[in-house]
């Protein structure tokens, strides 16, 4: 029986899917499925290549009812910029959930990961942030800083964005890009504390190993999404934040306790007991924000369920895009 596999490049994928409300809805549904308890999601596979200052992560998940499942390989090689190459690359493979046959290879160079990660930030904001967000702040100045603010703006159309990063030049560029993309006011802050105190919603998007956001800065009517930590050793929030907040939510407890903010908080003895997962908030199984003045935190490490969801979404919108290869 002959079988064609579709090979789709990043440029082709960018024509097919974007960071929009539809993508946010797709990722929200993946979190809801994850809360249902029927998703099969093995632990993240991780490999370090110390000689090249590189690491590789593999994620996957099977979501019952979905026609396919994705296997996603994300290499991060942090000396690449010296060679004129981006640090993050990789691809996703979509398999049939009925036969295991390869359906498509998405040579996305990390693009699909970028938008499914940003979309998760929007899901967290939709369910946890105060209703009225006038000012949003982002700590970090990279690709995700821009995408997270664009994603949040879909669900909380703020008027002003504040940016802080260690490199003032990069912060200025990030603020200018966000101003142009969203048509909002954009300011660079001189320190992270000012940014947090002035915002109703903050996203941290750094690879920090020392916290960039202190518990003392938390204030009523604030939501914080920490999405930078995705490996043991990374930490963006001071450990005390997690119990100082009225509600702490993570994407997956089994991942957050290994590679998210929950890890350091547990080590410091300041972790909430029985933390909720974002999918439980989405389905209503656990309560979200209770009062306008609440402080909420979302801790996102990135799940294979998001990868299966975005890859499946791409498949439904692919049309004739890509190059078919006769594989059998």
Q: Residue 76 or 137: which CB sits closer to a second copy?
A: 76
Query: In degrees rounded to 5, what are phi and psi of residue 141?
Result: -135, 20
Q: How far apart are CA 250 and CA 227, in angstroms?
A: 10
Cα dihedral sign for 207, 45, 29, 286? negative
Q: How far is the CB of 286 from a second copy (least distance, A)?
A: 26
Q: How far is the CB of 33 from a second copy (least distance, A)?
A: 14
The CA-based angle 194-200-203, given to 5 degrees, is 75
Other C-beta atoms closer than 10 Å to the C-beta of 169 total 10
Q: Could you say which residues in the range 88-127 bind a second copy, by CB under 8 A?
A: 89-91, 93, 95, 97-102, 105, 107, 109
Interface pick for a second copy out of 80, 194, 254, 270 (rule CB under 8 A)? 80
Q: Does 81 bind a second copy (CB under 8 A)?
A: no
Only one of the segments 40-48, 145-153, 270-278, 293-301 lies at the binding site for a second copy (rule: CB under 8 A); that segment is: 40-48
CA-CA-CA-CA torsion for 321, 144, 258, 120, nearest 10 degrees? -60
Q: Does 49 bind a second copy (CB under 8 A)?
A: yes
Q: How far apart are CA 272 and CA 257, in angstroms?
A: 11
Here the tokens at position 298 are 């979302």
Other C-beta atoms closer than 10 Å to the C-beta of 54 total 16
Q: Residue 38 or 132: which CB sits closer to a second copy?
A: 38
Only one of the segments 83-91, 135-143, 166-174, 254-262 lies at the binding site for a second copy (rule: CB under 8 A); that segment is: 83-91
- Residue 30 makes CB contacts below 8 A (sequence gap 6+) with 63, 303, 305, 306, 308, 309
Q: Residue 10 or 20: which CB sits closer to a second copy?
A: 10
Per-residue binding letters, 258-297, with a second copy (x by CB under 8 A): ----------------------------------------
Q: Residue 78 or 317: which CB sits closer to a second copy?
A: 78
Q: Does 321 bind a second copy (CB under 8 A)?
A: no
Q: Could you say which residues in the range 1-30 bind a second copy, by CB under 8 A?
A: 1, 5, 7, 9-10
* Three-state helix/strand/coil letters over 198-225: HCCEEEECCCCCCCCECHHHCCCCEEEE
Give the binding site for a second copy (CB under 8 A): 1, 5, 7, 9-10, 40-43, 45-49, 51-52, 54, 56, 58, 60-62, 64, 69, 71, 73, 75-77, 80, 83-85, 89-91, 93, 95, 97-102, 105, 107, 109, 323, 325-328
């Amino acid at each position: 029986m002959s079988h064609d596999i579709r090979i789709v490049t990043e440029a082709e994928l960018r024509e097919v899917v974007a960071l929009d409300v539809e993508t946010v809805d797709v990722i929200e549904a993946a979190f809801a499925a994850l809360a249902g308890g029927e998703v099969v999601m093995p632990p993240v596979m991780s490999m370090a290549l110390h000689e090249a200052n590189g690491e590789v992560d593999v994620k996957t998940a099977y979501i019952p009812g979905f026609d396919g499942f994705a296997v996603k390989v994300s290499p991060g090689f942090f000396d690449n910029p010296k060679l004129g190459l981006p640090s993050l690359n990789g691809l996703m493979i979509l398999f049939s959930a009925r036969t295991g046959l390869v359906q498509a290879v998405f040579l996305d160079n990390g693009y699909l990961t970028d938008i499914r990660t940003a979309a998760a930030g929007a899901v967290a904001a939709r369910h946890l942030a105060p209703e009225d967000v006038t000012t949003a702040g982002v700590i970090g100045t990279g690709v995700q800083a821009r995408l997270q603010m664009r994603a949040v703006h879909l669900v909380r159309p703020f008027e002003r964005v504040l940016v802080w990063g260690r490199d003032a030049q990069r912060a200025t560029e990030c603020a200018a890009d966000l101003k142009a993309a969203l048509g909002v006011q954009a300011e660079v802050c001189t320190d992270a504390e000012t940014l947090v105190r002035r915002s109703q919603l903050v996203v941290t998007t750094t690879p920090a190993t020392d916290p960039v956001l202190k518990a003392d800065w938390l204030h009523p009517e604030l939501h914080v999404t920490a999405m930078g930590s995705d490996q043991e050793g990374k930490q963006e929030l001071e450990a005390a934040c997690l119990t100082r907040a009225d509600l702490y939510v993570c994407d997956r407890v089994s991942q957050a306790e290994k590679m998210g903010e929950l890890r350091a908080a547990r080590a410091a003895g300041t972790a909430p007991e029985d933390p909720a997962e974002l999918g439980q908030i989405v389905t209503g199984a656990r309560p979200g924000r209770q009062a306008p003045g609440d402080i909420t935190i979302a801790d996102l490490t990135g799940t294979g369920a998001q990868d299966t969801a975005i890859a499946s979404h791409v498949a439904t919108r692919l049309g004739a895009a890509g190059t078919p290869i006769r594989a059998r």
